[in-house]
Structure 1
Amino acid sequence: PVFLALSDLEDAGLLTEGSLAQYRASLLVPDNQDPRDVARHLQERIGELDEDYARLSVRTAREEAEALAEGFQALSRFLGLSAFIALLLGGVGVAGAIQLYVEERLPGIAVLRCLGARQGMIFRSYLLQAGMLGAGGALLGVGLGVALQWGLPALLASVLPFRFEPGFRPASMLLGLTVGVGVTVLFALFPLLRVREVPPLAALRIDVEDASGRSRSARVLVGAALGIGVLLLATFQTGGIREGAALTGGLALVLLVLRGIAALLMRGVRGALIDSFPFAFRQGISGLFRPGNQTAVMLTALGFGAFLISSLFVVSTGLRDWLSVELSEDTPALFLFDVQSDQQAGVEALLARFGASSELLPVVPARLESIEGVGVEELERQGEIPGWTLRRVYRNTWSSELQSGDRITAGEWWDAERPDGTVGTDTTSPVDPVRISLEVDLARQLRVGLGSRVVWDVQGRSVESVITSLREVDWTRFQPNFFAVFEPGSLEGAPASWIGLAPLVEEEARISLQQELVREFPNVSFLDLSTIRETVLRVSGQVTRLLGAMAMVAVGGGFLVVAATLLSGRFRRRRESAILRTLGSSGRTLRVILVVEYLALGGLGGAAGVGLGAVGGAAVLRFAFDLPAAVPVLPLVGIWAVLVFLTLVVGWTSGGPVIRSTPRAVLGSAEG
């Protein structure tokens, strides 16, 4: 672009009769006035002027910013989804950690019951401990987040497509602290109910029956509180109660499905056991449905963690694929316009000589004259159709083929016969009215559909048309796009200019081509898209790398949460292993039993969670982001393999304390 002072522009003689120019004025509104009210008043005054001022429009700075922000809505929704999933993963981790904490202190809790401590007092004391742990963790997280504001911009300067200004934001810090403590307390409630269920007799017998059957009302209340808390979090992150309710309902459905799958898997595994299998294998599989092992709970928790990881990965992959830009040999490098009809063949031949062959498209400017017999002035007075659609100059074209990237949503293309039996692509003298294909969103704005009659003012000549198809146009593609496409032969007599995109060629050839264009066709204008293309590639790469890094951090944290969930059930299995060792089992046999049991947990629970995550992620892509619901199968198999490996590691390490200690020491610690 070339920048000139307004006075220099006038002296240059560029603003003469026939010049096309646009003017913009920026207004500073006083602080005591609302810019929206001022804009509305100005627009009303413009409407009172004559039609020479009809094309004037007024927009506020906020409207401009909102229009710019529309392109970042997908990224904003992904950030909200990532934050919500991170909170849920953190909540699952908190629940696992509190359960482990309570399991270690059950004997001490039983002693307190023997000494007269009430259930409520013990529950409140442990809830207070959980809240204090949550506050400490939240403070640490807030401090780390503030520190990262100064460290990350320097590390990610080559990745971030914008400049990041760090600073203290007390409101955000307080919000993070509140959410951290709230999530900790909410997800700690369920495992802390175990504290209320410990009877005094557990001080003498660790396997005494608890009072879980008598605390059903407490579990219902805790479940309701947890559901309301998750709903509030989802609403806050998604920005709407409807979206938050849908997300919360989907998560509840996933939990129910996982619980049902866990019950079916346990029943199926029990029926699949064969006596001829090795002892260690049978013992490990039997551990899945042994009473008191809480296998269904662990399978559900493990599957839920796998679901969150997989769904986030699917969404991030879909967004990165959408944002990524891949160039091929056919990628446009030059945009040509203002080619006259008698120059079309010569320009196409010149492009072919340089290996950049391109078929030029005609452009015929036209205005709307009437719709269904009603003139545009009357339609504008009625106010039911947006004024810009009635006043604008449309740049239409004719074509025998549907453009790549366009999709027919209603009606049919020109290969169908006309009422007189002729075919649109076989004649240059179509009968009136001519057939057109209209862009679907414009048709919705104009309140027209298939069969509607539209009259166009084509440079003083009225052309009647009938809509025979509606198209969905991909406006993001590097190609000429049109609101209205006429059938061949309908506009070929009208004055037209031609435009086209030349595919990518070598830099030297591209420069030579531009020189030849200037010499042979000086009136033809062209735009070198190579710089724009490089900028798009750079920004796209930066954004996709940033999304990938964020997704990997969340996925890595999810794996840690899953590992903590698996560790929460190791105490009961240690006691069972000590009993088996007392009965003569070797250390190798104990390790094999634990590995088989945890392998079954990880394989079955991980497969269920990853499968549901693939479905959930695809649904989010389709309905929340309006993107193709593509599922990356191989990476999801990799996630499942990592989950299985984690369970193997936990199963292998769980046998260490039993093998290194005597059975008496393990059983004594369990009862003491």
Structure 2
Amino acid sequence: MALNAPLAWRFAWREWRGGLSGFRVFIACIALGVFAIAGVGALSASLNEGLSRQARVLLGGDVTFALFQREASADELAFLQSQGEMSRIATLRGMARTAHDDFTLIDIKAVDNHHPLLGTLTLDPPLPLDDILASHNGVFGAAADPVLLARLNLKVGDTVHVGEATFQIRSSLTTEPDKLLGGISIGPRFLISHQGLQATALLQPGALVRWTYRIKLAAPSDAAAEQLIAQAREKFPQAGWEVRSPANASPQLERNVSRFTQFLTLVGLAALLIGGIGVVNAVESHLARRRDVIATFKALGASTTMVFAIYLLQVLMLALVGALIGAALGTLLPYAILAVFGHLLPLPIEPGIYPGTLALALLYGVFAALAFALGPLMRVRDVPAAVLFRAEVAGEGSRRNLRHLLAPAAAVALLAIAAVALAYDRRIAAIFVGVSLAVFVLLRIVARLIMAGAKRLPRPGNALLRLALANIHRPGALTPSVVLSLGLGLAALVTVTQIDANLRQQFTAALPERAPSFYFLDIPSAQSAHFSEFLGGIAPHAKVEVVPMLRGRITAVKGVPAEQLKPASDSEWVLQSDRGISYADAVPPGSKVVAGQWWSADYQGAPLVSLEQKTADGLGIAIGDEITVNVLGRNLTARVANLRSVDWQNLGINFVLVFSPNTFRGAPHTDLATLTADLATPADDANVIKEVAHAFPTVTSVRVRDALKSIGDIVTNLALAIRGASLVTLLSALLVLGGALAAGHRHRVYDAVILKTLGATRRQLIGAYTLEYLLIGATTAFFGVAAGSLAASVIVTRWMNLSFAWYGGNAATVAASALALTIALGLAGTLIALRQKAATVLRRL
């Protein structure tokens, strides 16, 4: 019989107008998942739009050329100046010290009188920059970050010493238009002139200085910027420029935004998947309540296709309502964030309505609802009218067949394909989809095992326990729904809490055993021996390690330019900028050769290089391959002699690239040193910094704890964002759990009435149901803790490359809370069921 679509739509609409009772959880689950996906997508699009619109301001020009450890040559400088208005900037780290011998690490930025080419510096007081930085009576001027003033207890007008020069702080530096793309700053900003930088004597040969040349074109355009970049590379092929234009102002930032967007989108998908169980419960509960209506439809001649179409249309309408609610709320998220946190965020957000993002979120929502609703709809489709009339006491009477499984499986497959195809990193998305399916299957198996175990256990003598066990495995038991919803939510929450605890331990807790206390940068190589002796004098029982350090940029691997390489995602960072490199005649401490052979101490042949193993794997490099690195404006090709495993977590000196000593003979460079000592108090730390600053004013001291704290603050904020996003998943799990218990309310009412009629007391029934929820919840909690801990371990060790420690207290707290919530929600519904009048219920049977 052909489907009468208008008639099916009319019946569906009439039933739908009767109210949404029982579908609140359905709508909420879909809305939450879609809200997460739409909100994250809208926020990401707003960020990308802001970065695109502000790219020239953030970049500081139309094109930037950066060099490390060397200034542009005369020819290079003349070429750049001929292309438009140019601004020259030098950035490096140094130490600021007051007349009272207070010290702190600072981030020095030396600028010329063209700075900034674009955007506006906000200064307090707002004086002309030339006046602020000028030299008066041999004292140079500076603009300082307010953090520096607070840290050293200074005010505008006070003086500080940097290197061998004295600076007067003439203004407070409130905002910089180009600060966002400057990377992580360990110390506060200290803005000075190039003449002031020269006076500090920090510009030693090989010092770790980054020189940036910003060009403002007369007629800016993407084509003009690309033409300039091509000309510069053709004219100076070995310059080793790091070139940026508005089209790729900050590839790392854009990648991070995309990856974080993907992570949060996966959180939204997880919420949708968990909410899918709520969809199943809501649809089954609704169809159970409509059995009389369905039976009447069929008795009056409606075909199974017509009945299926009526309720499928209802589900699609409800899914669309939930998805539209979620999409609307998601669209408002960037506006809300900007209104509440806009003054705190350094990122440029341009809120707007992005149709592609909204369409994708709606697609996910409707497909998720369809995938999970088709199962119960397909089963009711084949149930005869006679069974429906007596199904209140006889069960559903429909057996699952292949047709019942194929349609939902096809919808799930489409949802999975969409999730993978539209992801930033398809490998991670495919892993997520595979793990999600595996977890669903495992939880179904766990539910079956719980039911089978309860059924096969010896019959207990205690009546309450006997009733609780029977409720766990009886037909229509809540066990599958509770296990799925509680297990997924608990596993997700344990995963987040374990990752959070490990990140906090890594970056905010105690340092690794025998970790360095200090790093010392920019030690003139001619003074290395004297510097080591000096450290031995002020810290006689300390361990001092000194190594040469240069900066180099990988330009080619096996003859293939770096721009054409396709590295693994965890090795991309090696190609993005200059890297610290060194040379050594022996295997560095903390490294172990895992392939190939180390060169002899007196090796004098062609350049050789040792590469960190994971990086080599990510770049597809093997022993004997060649790698080209640009150092100090010269391309140098070396053959890979060996691969090393590196213990990065001990915080010692180590490098991805370590060359044979003869490679850089005669090249200007500075040394890097570490001091490992048991300095018990902050006063001991301060004494080391003070003594080094007085004896070696051009050497920069970095206290490891301060550096870790700066990184730890970033990690803590990231963990808070992840935790907040994961609350969506947890809320979905709670909704599903509540919905599952509500879906079983009708059975609870009949059970309670029959048992009360047979003599069971209210107290006995509450005890039996409490035992039931306790047994199901405890078993599920065990699985959720195990699965979440395993997932956290894999993420921390494989993706974050950190060591993993299991925090049983956190896991136990999460499990106990989830268990208490399960019992509380279950008993809340049970108490309602126990208040039902027996006569009213019995008359319906």
- CA gap of 1:166–1:508, structure 2 versus 1, over 3 A, is farther
In 2, the alpha carbon distance for the partners of 1:621 and 1:12 equals 45
Alignment of 1:244-643 (within 5 A): 244-274=429-459, 276-290=460-474, 292-294=475-477, 298-299=479-480, 302-303=483-484, 305-311=486-492, 313-315=494-496, 317-318=498-499, 321-322=502-503, 325-326=507-508, 332=517, 335-341=520-526, 344-345=529-530, 348-350=533-535, 353=538, 357=542, 359-363=544-548, 383-384=559-560, 396-398=582-584, 402-404=588-590, 406=591, 408-410=593-595, 437-440=610-613, 469-473=642-646, 480-483=653-656, 485=658, 497-501=670-674, 516-517=691-692, 519-521=694-696, 524=699, 535-620=710-795, 631-643=806-818
1:42 aligns with 2:231: yes
Measure how far apart 1:272 and its partner are.
1.8
Range that drifts further, 590-599 or 142-151: 142-151
Measure how far apart 1:565 and its partner are.
1.9
Measure how far apart 1:65 and its partner are.
1.9
Measure how far apart 1:394 and its partner are.
8.2
CA distances 1:283-339 after superposition (whole Å, capped 9, x unpaired): 22123333x3256xx426623552354146415642674476226576655633224
1:124 to 284, 291, 309: 309
- CA gap of 1:511–1:576, structure 2 versus 1, over 3 A, is closer
In 1, the alpha carbon distance for the partners of 2:828 and 2:721 equals 36
Measure how far apart 1:166 and its partner are.
3.8
Range that drifts further, 21-30 or 546-555: 21-30
Measure how far apart 1:445 and its partner are.
9.8
Residues 442, 483 of structure 1: 8 Å contact kept = yes
Q: Higher strand fraction: Structure 1 or Structure 2?
A: 2
In 1, the alpha carbon distance for the partners of 2:379 and 2:667 equals 83
Measure how far apart 1:439 and its partner are.
3.4
In 2, the alpha carbon distance for the partners of 1:307 and 1:623 equals 22
- CA gap of 1:381–1:536, structure 2 versus 1, over 3 A, is closer
Identity across the alignment (%): 22
Measure how far apart 1:468 and its partner are.
6.9
Residues 268, 728 of structure 2: 8 Å contact kept = no
In 2, the alpha carbon distance for the partners of 1:491 and 1:622 equals 35
One-letter amino acid of the counterpart of residue 233, structure 1: A
1:187 aligns with 2:357: no
In 1, the alpha carbon distance for the partners of 2:358 and 2:324 equals 9
Measure how far apart 1:169 and its partner are.
3.6
1:653 to 817, 822, 828: 828
TM-score with structure 1 length normalisation?
0.75
Alignment of 1:200-215 (within 5 A): 200-201=385-386, 202-204=388-390, 206-208=392-394, 210=396, 212-213=398-399
One-letter amino acid of the counterpart of residue 293, structure 1: G
1:89 to 274, 279, 285: 274
- CA gap of 1:35–1:539, structure 2 versus 1, over 3 A, is farther
1:231 aligns with 2:417: yes
Measure how far apart 1:282 and its partner are.
1.0
Q: Structure 1 stretches of 5 or more lacking a match?
A: 369-375, 419-428, 460-464
Residues 292, 389 of structure 2: 8 Å contact kept = yes
- CA gap of 1:359–1:653, structure 2 versus 1, over 3 A, is same
Residues 468, 768 of structure 2: 8 Å contact kept = yes
One-letter amino acid of the counterpart of residue 220, structure 1: L
- Match of residue 26 from structure 1: 215
In 1, the alpha carbon distance for the partners of 2:698 and 2:324 equals 67
- Match of residue 283 from structure 2: 98
One-letter amino acid of the counterpart of residue 729, structure 2: A
Alignment of 1:50-65 (within 5 A): 53-56=238-241, 58-65=243-250
Residues 159, 545 of structure 1: 8 Å contact kept = no
Equivalent residues, number:
633
Measure how far apart 1:85 and its partner are.
0.8
In 2, the alpha carbon distance for the partners of 1:255 and 1:477 equals 39
Residues 111, 200 of structure 1: 8 Å contact kept = yes
Range that drifts further, 93-102 or 149-158: 149-158
Residues 91, 187 of structure 1: 8 Å contact kept = yes
One-letter amino acid of the counterpart of residue 239, structure 1: Y
One-letter amino acid of the counterpart of residue 288, structure 1: I
In 2, the alpha carbon distance for the partners of 1:326 and 1:574 equals 53
State the Cα RMSD in Å.
5.1
Q: Structure 2 stretches of 5 or more lacking a match?
A: 1-107, 115-133, 135-192, 564-573, 633-637
In 1, the alpha carbon distance for the partners of 2:321 and 2:603 equals 79
- Match of residue 425 from structure 1: none
Measure how far apart 1:55 and its partner are.
3.6
